[in-house]
Amino acid sequence: MKIQDEFTTFTVALIPVAMAINIAVGQLVALLKLPVYLDCIGTLLVGFACGPFAGAVTGGLSNAAWGLFSPSALPFFPVAAWIGFAAGLCARWGLADTWWKAALSGVVVAVTTPFVATPIVVFVYGGVEGSGASLITAVLVKSGIKVTSAAFYKNLMVEPLDKVPTALVAFALIRSLPDRMMARLPRFSA
């Protein structure tokens, strides 16, 4: 599939909806100070349904837009873009066709995301970005682990708890679409 094949009219219309889902859920989770993020349901949905580049655009634009009224989200736009890209690759490799494969995609995304997120957390926020999960980083630093390693380990611990349920929700949303809508998604069109 070519990059331009991912960006159908339906995809372009779906991206703002997915962005709104990301921002609304992300704001709610931040308000509740939960130790997970759940702010990329829309990104995984577009990545799974439309492809890696559409997923990356959705993730990056979500965090850029969210950053307009929540500036702490803006530096994480590369992370969100990576999540969408990785989800799209997983789908392209057949890892979004069943619920257990979608869960496996969540694991793949979760294990790779800390490599993108940790440098941002450390260099922009000193290792503690203000989420409920930052408590884990603080405990690890207090136990003698360096900030960069503590932030990486925290991400490695928290991301699977976040990305697996997120991937399953995205999978369920896609599978709940009517057949004629599914046929308009690039990955499912004939």
Summarize pLDDT for 20-61 with one digit per residue, the tens. 999 999 999 888 877 778 999 999 999 999 999 999 999 999
Question: CATH for 3-116+162-183?
Answer: 1.10.1760
Residue 129 clears pLDDT 90, i.e. is over it:
no
pTM given for the model: 0.94
> Domain residues of the chain, as ranges?
3-116+162-183
Summarize pLDDT for 149-187 with one digit per residue, the tens. 999 999 999 999 999 999 999 999 999 999 999 999 998
- Residue 107: CB atoms within 10 Å: 16
- The mean pLDDT value of the chain amounts to 93
Residue 190 clears pLDDT 70, i.e. is over it:
no
Look-up of token digits 């704001």: 27
Q: What angle do the packed helices 147-175 and 41-50 form, to 10 degrees?
A: 60
Q: What angle do CA 115, 14, 160 make, to 5 degrees?
A: 30
pLDDT of residue 33: 79
